[in-house]
């Protein structure tokens, strides 16, 4: 995605140079860069830096990112008719499994075991940022997922939860397997 946007900017810039009109179009080129490319580069750089932090520091930063992502997922569920918070745990889990499968391309499975659920995502990291921005994520990136799920489940269920990373692809596992208990 970023590479395509950068190529689009360079193609337009080359054309303007050939036409001799770059100077008059420079403000709009800079605006395109600032609005379309710079935020994507900043996010990519942000996550690259997160990979260099110790786990505690990375978790401090990524907990906020995960909450924002979880808030988006909750809003999406609410627009589809799920009341948040909900007393209907099974309806919430069904909505969450649907969201996970949308993100993973159908490679996710949720299994409820009493007051806990295990999520298994096969075939690599399903984070939309990793996929869309084609970035190299570090094992610290999984902390964002932990915060995302904690916010999602605590808000939807109206009670504290515990999120445990059993294994993740970014940490050497064959799948991303996460257990959430309440």
Going along 65-161, which residue ranges are E strands? 108-112, 116-122
Which fold, 54-181? Muramoyl-pentapeptide Carboxypeptidase; domain 2 (3.30.1380)
Report pLDDT for 93: 97
Q: Please identify every stretch of the chain with a pLDDT value under 50, giving residue numbers as ranges.
A: none
pTM recorded for the entire structure: 0.82
Report pLDDT for 104: 87
Q: Is 116 left (phi over 0), alpha (psi -120 to 50) or beta?
A: beta
Report pLDDT for 44: 85
Q: What is the 3-state secondary structure (H, E, C) of 93-138?
A: HHHHHHHHHHHHCCCEEEEECCCEEEEEEECCCCCHHHHHHCCCCC
Q: Per residue in 16-65, pLDDT tens? A: 889 999 888 889 888 888 888 888 888 888 999 999 999 999 999 999 99
């Amino acid at each position: 995605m970023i590479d395509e946007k950068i190529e689009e900017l360079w193609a337009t810039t080359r054309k303007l140079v050939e036409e001799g009109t770059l100077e008059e179009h420079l403000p709009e080129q800079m605006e395109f860069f600032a609005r379309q490319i710079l935020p994507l580069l900043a996010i990519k750089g942000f996550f690259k830096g997160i990979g260099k932090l110790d786990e505690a520091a990375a978790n401090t930063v990524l907990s906020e990112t995960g909450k924002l992502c979880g808030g988006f997922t909750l809003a999406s569920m609410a627009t589809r008719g799920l009341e948040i918070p909900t007393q209907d745990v099974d309806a919430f889990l069904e909505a969450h499994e649907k969201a996970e499968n949308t993100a993973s391309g159908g490679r996710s499975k949720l299994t409820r075991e009493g007051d806990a659920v295990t999520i298994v995502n096969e075939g690599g990291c399903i984070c939309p940022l990793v996929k869309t921005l084609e970035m190299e994520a570090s094992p610290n990136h999984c902390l964002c997922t932990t915060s995302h799920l904690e916010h999602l489940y605590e808000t939807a269920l109206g009670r504290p939860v515990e999120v445990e990373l059993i294994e993740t692809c970014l940490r050497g596992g064959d799948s991303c397997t996460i257990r959430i208990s309440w």
